[in-house]
Structure 1
Amino acid sequence: MSESQNKVLGNQRPSTGGVRGGRIIIAGGGTGGHIFPAVAIAHALRKLQPNIEILFVGAKGKMEMEKVPQAGYNIKGLDIAGFNRSSLIKNIGLPFKLIKSFWQVRSIIKSFQPNAVIGVGGYSSFPVLRYAQTQGIATFIHEANSFAGKANIMLGKNASKIFVATDGMEKFFPAEKIMITGNPVRQNIVNNTISRNAGIEFFELDPAKKTVFVTGGSLGAKGINEAIDASISAFAKNNVQLIWQTGKPYAEKASALAVENKNIWANSFITQMEYAYSAADVVISRAGAMSVAELCVAKKPVVFVPFPFAAEDHQTANAQNLVNKQAGLMIKDSEAKEKLVPTVIALAHDEQQQNMLKENIAKLAITNADEVVAREILRII
């Protein structure tokens, strides 16, 4: 073991010994981009060490409280919320919620007695890792984005190991603690063998037509949805059909459009994303780190519309990284109404450009990040 690793592990509890199980808390959530990689890491840990005990900690009222139990894991909820940038008055109760969450975390950790805590981002991640660090418990961070969040930067100083998706993260974290792993992708996408025709049939669409899959992530995307809606007739005119994951706020309006147009399938959320990726000739997507990771594995031509209000504009940085490698196209959210649909329809009918984008995005795929992360955690604890 290196000197730097000895320094990192110096004040931590004894190793679980690899084969004796162990107890791990995974903290974070808020969006699918945090939850799905967290579940992937949990599955990998359980596969490598079947008698391991895993407990998730999330934020009450957020989607992890539903999705994590569906994946087969227990979860405890904290009374916590993030800083509201759009309405400062809504932040009045934030200090009280933060204090309450630390008391809740203290109780959870004292009861569960974890050997390690893994943070995947989201409101609930910070208090859990911060308290664990004060107790000498090994802490691990998974930073999915190419621009690290402030909470993770603070936590990184005392973390045992920091797993990152890309190189160049030394500007945020201590270099000796960084391990480049990529982002864990759901196994149903990594192992996807569904044919295009089977995907099209799943959505009851026409295999003879070019198919565009529109996704704004698990919570939807207002800018993308409005751009699609504004030019909805252009798809039928150009013999293109849509699979449209809208998120809850836009679901009712999109469903009404789908009733009027046979070339549109719309729903608030798609559970079996592997069918949507298989059916798609072209994808429209936000540029969150996990969306990017999945699209690399799915090997699809993508038009990215980065969410403009992401912290430090990290989605634009994520998308630009692929654009620079000719592995994707990008349209600004502010220009989406004017440019998105024409760009996508042109790409749907340009198989030469599709093939170039597919070939280049496939080179960036990482399919075993969950196992790499899990092995390193088990090795250290």
Structure 2
Amino acid sequence: MNRKLRIILSGGGTGGHIYPAIAIANEIKRRFPDTEFLFVGAKDRMEMDKVPQAGYKIEGLWISGIQRELTLKNLSFPFKLISSLYNARKIINRFKPDVVIGTGGFASGPILQVASSKGIPSLIQEQNSYPGITNKLLSKNANKICVAYDGLERFFPENKIIKTGNPVRQGLLSIDSKRDKALASFKLSKDKKTLVVLGGSLGARRINELIEKEFDFILTQNMQIIWQCGKLYYDKYKIYDNTKNIQVHDFINDMDLAYAAADIIISRAGASSVSELCIVGKPVIFIPSPNVAEDHQTKNAMAIVNEKAALVIKEADLEVDFENTFSQLMASLEKQEELSTNIKKLALVNATKHIVDEVEKLLNK
């Protein structure tokens, strides 16, 4: 391709929408180094920080989702929608993208809607086994829909679906060779098993409460803990940092090393996390968030659990089931090996490459 490409990527609200968009941009840049990129996000959300940190320019729209309960915030939604559609049109008219890529979240709605209305090719990357409302609405006009799970023809036009998997950080593909480096980096003992606790980029209140309550029990299993409690909760839990073989982090930048150090992982079941954990191939206990649209984290987790590739405990059952589930897993090397072997079989390691292959096809039409 001789001419300079111009590509808009949009998605945000959580790391699960932001990091796939960044991974796609990085792969496009690797193939076409002169490409000009513009990210479009929602004002005041985490993409406004994370995207510039990754080296890309971003503009924000005044947009948010509709709350499921009747709230005052919903009254402003029509005004936000009109404003964001108007500004999305201005951005597209000025930037003149060759392709627009959406990875989910509210901000991708207006920009992909305007792109479709102008005949600009668009691609949706749907991370979840149960799509959010934004992508369901956009799918009617999108040219291609890249998915990570089977069965999404229930929600999307079947002729547009390509199963690619979810983009993941490339550093995760080689964690097996990083264990010694990881143990040294986190100053961990080689004589103890390591539990890594992940609640998502912002943190998970219920998982944090669980770890605070249960860490004495966990440590009796000859374990050490790397606990990512999230930025919202760090001030509350940092008192436990470097006590009793516990490390507390607000955010872990070197996730490849955290995964390399892990023997067991406790995690939310956001789509990007699930995709990463399939590649990582360690025994996982999922604790899905019940506070997400359509309970999609439980559906993500069950897609793995049904393949005998992970364990799951619902938040409502933690008090009753956690200690029993955890101690049984720790006591059975056979069960750990089974989960590890089976989850690796579900990994789609070339997802980013396959998605960008589809972008190239749109560019060459």
**Shift of residue 120 of structure 1?**
0.3
What secondary structure, in the 3-state scheme, does the structure 1 residue paired with 2:241 have? helix
Structure 2: gaps of 5 or more residues:
none
Partner Cα separation in structure 1 for residue 204 and residue 319 of structure 2 = 13
**Shift of residue 346 of structure 1?**
3.4
2:273 corresponds to: 291
2:295 corresponds to: 313
Indicate the structure whose relative CO is greater, using CA pairs within 8 Å and at least 6 residues apart: 1
Calculate percent identity across the aligned residue pairs: 48
Q: Deviations over 1:296-329 (max 9, x none)?
A: 0111110001111221111111111111111000
Check if 1:84 corresponds to 2:67.
Answer: yes
Structure 1: gaps of 5 or more residues:
1-17
What secondary structure, in the 3-state scheme, does the structure 2 residue paired with 1:114 have? coil
Q: Deviations over 1:172-209 (max 9, x none)?
A: 11111111101111111124354323212212221211
Q: Please report the TM-score for the alignment, with normalisation by the length of structure 1.
A: 0.92
Partner Cα separation in structure 2 for residue 299 and residue 145 of structure 1 = 19
Check if 1:43 corresponds to 2:26.
Answer: yes
Check if 1:234 corresponds to 2:217.
Answer: yes
Partner Cα separation in structure 2 for residue 258 and residue 139 of structure 1 = 46
Partner Cα separation in structure 2 for residue 333 and residue 354 of structure 1 = 22
Paired residues of 2:175 and 2:259 also in contact (CA < 8 A):
no
1:3 corresponds to: none
2:351 corresponds to: 369
Q: Deviations over 1:91-139 (max 9, x none)?
A: 2222222211112211111110001111100110101101111111111
Distance 1:367-1:251 versus aligned 2 partners, 3 A rule: same
Q: Deviations over 1:232-274 (max 9, x none)?
A: 2112222211100011222122211224x23100111111100
Choose which of 154, 169, 184 in structure 2 pairs with 1:186. Answer: 169
What secondary structure, in the 3-state scheme, does the structure 2 residue paired with 1:231 have? helix
Q: Which aligned runs of 4 or more in structure 1 are off by greater than 4 angstroms?
A: none
Check if 1:270 corresponds to 2:276.
Answer: no
Q: What aligned pairs does 1:210-225 form with structure 2 within 5 A after superposition?
A: 210-225=193-208
1:9 corresponds to: none
Choose which of 136, 147, 162 in structure 2 pairs with 1:153. Answer: 136
Q: What aligned pairs does 1:298-337 form with structure 2 within 5 A after superposition?
A: 298-337=280-319
1:129 corresponds to: 112
Distance 1:65-1:43 versus aligned 2 partners, 3 A rule: same
Paired residues of 2:43 and 2:61 also in contact (CA < 8 A):
yes
Question: How many aligned positions are there?
Answer: 363
Distance 1:345-1:279 versus aligned 2 partners, 3 A rule: farther
**Shift of residue 349 of structure 1?**
3.8
Q: What aligned pairs does 1:12-91 form with structure 2 within 5 A after superposition?
A: 18-85=1-68, 88-91=71-74
Partner Cα separation in structure 1 for residue 136 and residue 74 of structure 2 = 22
